[in-house]
Amino acid sequence: MKKPRRKNPPLFTIGYEKATPKAVLSELKRAAVELVIDTRAVAASRRPGFSKKQLSAGLDEEGIAYVHLQKLGTPTEGREAARAGQLDKLWRIYEKHIAKKEPQEQLGELVTMIKSGRRLALLCYCRNPNTCHRSRIVAHVKKRIKVSVDDLVPPL
């Protein structure tokens, strides 16, 4: 059951690390998400159901739209720093990246989508939003508009 649109619905975030596609879809449906914004630089996954085409098709079957904002993703060197547990380095790389023209344009697109009143969820791999670039996207969004954030955590 879809929740009625609020003027300012929260901005949801979700990571699929360790979760099944079914668990992620269930959590998105529980929150009445209408649009998933894929924030991965590379919308491919070794995990079945999470590559761009499979994910988009699975969401579509549930009535959830999908958009890939690739330029909001973490560049290769940032992903390497994250895998090495070097969060300070990841944040430096990501902040330099998101300041560039194309990521700023996509950040503007994201803000426009949020202002539309649709229930949106930012998606990435990382389960913990505090160690994921989604937290940095949210911080940049909050510099532009007032929005509450709800980090969804799919059951394992």
Where residue 87 sits, what CATH number does that domain have? 3.40.1010
For 19, 32, 82, 87, the CA distances from 77, given in Å and listed in that order, are 25, 35, 9, 12
pLDDT of the residue at 1: 46
pLDDT at 5: 52
| pTM confidence score | 0.93
Of 88, 61, 91, nearest to 74 by C-alpha is: 91
Q: Is residue 124 situated within a structural domain?
A: yes
What is the span of the domain harbouring residue 144? Answer: 11-152
Give the pLDDT of residue 8: 77
pLDDT attached to residue 81: 96
Q: Please indicate, yes or no, if residue 89 is contained in any of the structural domains.
A: yes
Spell out, as residue ranges, where the chain has pLDDT lower than 50. 1
